[in-house]
Amino acid sequence: MKLTVIFVVSCLTLLPSASVHGHGLGLETIKQSVGDKKISITTQITPTEFSESAQKQIAMTITDSLTSQNIDAVLLIVLYHDGIQVFKETFATTNGILRIDVIPTSDSQITITGQNNQNVWSATESKPLEISGPILSSGGLYRFDVQMMSLDSQPLQNQAFSTYITSITNHSYTESDKDGKQVEFGIKSYYDQISGFDYSPETNSITLEMPFEWSEQNIYHTELVHEEIHFTKGFADFVVPSYSGTVNGIKLFKSAITIDDYSIEDQRIVHFVLSQDAIRYLKQAQKSAGIENPQGMRFVLEPGNKIVFPVVAQTRDGALQVDLSWEPETIEPNKNTKFIFTFRDAKTGELMRNTSYDFVILQNGKEIHKKSANSQIGGDFVDYTFSESQGGQTTIQFNNLRGTGQGTEFTIIVVPEFGALVMLILGASIAATLMLRKRLVFFQ
């Protein structure tokens, strides 16, 4: 009997800060020079993830970048959503901070409560600023066009900026598979609301569409476009070792698509992650194809059938990265398997020399092999031969890296192979909290 290992790495994305995901995940900070002052303006929408029932607020803080002290300002703010102007009003900060409590309603009329002095709204202790109407009634991308009318009581002219804030949205879809059975899909968008979704049983592919403005100004504000596709692990037709994808017909590089089988026990999550450089590449590729004015983003996800080496995991603290490969790709009993790995600085990608480690293979919670060593050159290998009886789930751990107590964990599934019929089995989890690689490479 021959054993085949089917492995797909999980990469669980944490969302620790606004600067990680696109147009400010919940908040964005803009740097401005005003006369002899260097200031920063932080705009925030809460909550970060859209919820109909949650209390909502818009906040803007003006800070002197040199002294870290807040500065008062008068701001003309125009808010846009889905390309439509929501409101245009003038507000004054209090101690450098503007806070507006938002009450979304179905009324088309915008109503503001607070103190109004010569058409400038401000808050007092007895009258906090509150705005009601069709505001923050849905998630997605919000654009604030702001003109600074005064700073520190000094009138200003031609001081304007735009800031883009994303309110995470969740979408659910029910589609039929090739046998007519219902399959539930979920989309979590860290950029804008999804405008279209389709699963095709004929091609076994997923298509999702989302608004996107391909102007350089918009791309400049976009650090990442991040979309998650969720579906049950029981959906065998789409649980495959790897995926390929396109945006507007342009093939994506391997690093743009990652798989997470750890975050939710019974679900697989496939991540589309496009960096700013990747977005510019896609724009140029479309231009070269004769598309001068692209409209939106149309993602297509298709199943692959190859393991993509190396598989990558980071430690919980995000300091160390482990790259793992093995030879041969198909593991047979009573024949040697060579696990090859390197240790890297997760932020720079540089090899980490003199790295001590414990390499452990586990089955059914029991240790079947362990090697403790020190990698002087930043990489090493381990030879191991699986026996006929060592099928099923197998965990590979890297423990106590560099004596820090930090580690990573990869899980593979070892299953029988019957002739030409290869069972493609879900095989990936990382028990440590993992993050998508911060260093994205978009060239094959």
Separation CA 138–CA 431 (nearest Å): 34
Confidence of residue 359 (pLDDT cuts 50, 70, 90): very high
Instruction: Assess whether 121 and 135 both reside in one domain.
Output: yes
Closest CA to 58 of 33, 89, 27: 27
How many Å from the N-terminal Cα to the C-terminal Cα in the chain? 36
User: What average pLDDT does the structure give for the chain?
Assistant: 85
Query: What is the mean pLDDT of the segment spanning 190-209?
Result: 96
Q: Out of 145-159, 356-370, 400-414, 427-441, which region has the weakest mean confidence (pLDDT)? A: 427-441
CATH code where residue 346 lies: 2.60.40.1930
pLDDT digits (tens, 9 = 90+) for 285-322: 999 999 999 999 999 999 986 777 887 777 877 789 89
Domain-located, residue 438: no
Residue 392 lies in a domain: yes
| pLDDT for res 262 | 62
Q: Which of 257, 282, 304 is the last residue of a domain?
A: 304
**Nearest alpha-carbon partner for 359 in 346, 345, 375, 344:** 375
Question: How far is residue 224's CA from residue 201's CA, in Å, rounded to a whole number?
Answer: 30
Same-domain status, 275 and 202: yes
Shared domain check, 162 and 37: yes
161-172: pLDDT as tens digits: 999 999 999 999
Question: Which domain, by its residues, includes 333?
Answer: 2-13+308-417
Q: Is 85 inside any structural domain? A: yes
Specify the 3-state DSSP secondary structure of 207.
Answer: strand
Q: How many domains does the chain have?
A: 3
CA dihedral 146, 110, 218, 208 (to 10 degrees): 160
Report the C-alpha gap between 85 and 235 in whole angstroms.
42
- What pTM does this model have? 0.70
| Same domain? 324 vs 397 | yes
- 222 plus 341 within the same structural domain: no
Give the whole-number percent of the chain exceeding pLDDT 90. Answer: 62
Q: Tell me, yes or no, whether 19 lies in a domain.
A: no
Q: pLDDT value at position 221?
A: 84
| Distance (Å) of CA 92 to CA 62, 111, 356, 385 | 11, 17, 57, 71
Domain-located, residue 442: no
Q: Residue 413 has what pLDDT?
A: 65
Q: Report CA-CA distances (Å) from 242 to 176, 253, 283, 308, 417.
A: 22, 13, 25, 7, 19
Which pLDDT value is given to residue 292? 92
Question: Do residue 146 and residue 94 come from a single domain?
Answer: yes
* 431 is a domain residue: no
Task: Give the confidence band of 150 by pLDDT, cuts at 50, 70, 90.
Answer: very high
E strand spans, 352-407: 355-363, 366-375, 379-384, 392-399
Residues 291 and 366 in one domain: no
Question: Are 161 and 257 within one domain?
Answer: no
Domain assignment of residue 20, yes or no: no
Residues 220 and 141 grouped into a single domain: no
Please tell me the least confidently modeled range out of 40-49, 279-288, 412-421: 412-421
Same domain? 293 vs 333: no
Shared domain check, 286 and 268: yes
**pLDDT confidence tier of residue 432, bands split at 50, 70 and 90:** very low
pLDDT of residue 329: 81
| pLDDT digits 0-9 by tens, 229-272 | 999 988 988 987 788 999 999 999 887 888 777 667 678 889 99
**Are residues 173 and 163 part of one domain?**
no
Residue where a domain stops, chosen among 120, 138, 167: 167
Say yes or no to pLDDT of 412 above 80.
Answer: no
CATH number at residue 159: 2.60.40
- Residue 393: is its pLDDT beyond 70? no
Establish if 255 belongs to a structural domain: yes
| Among candidate residues 104, 137, 167, the one where a domain is terminated | 167
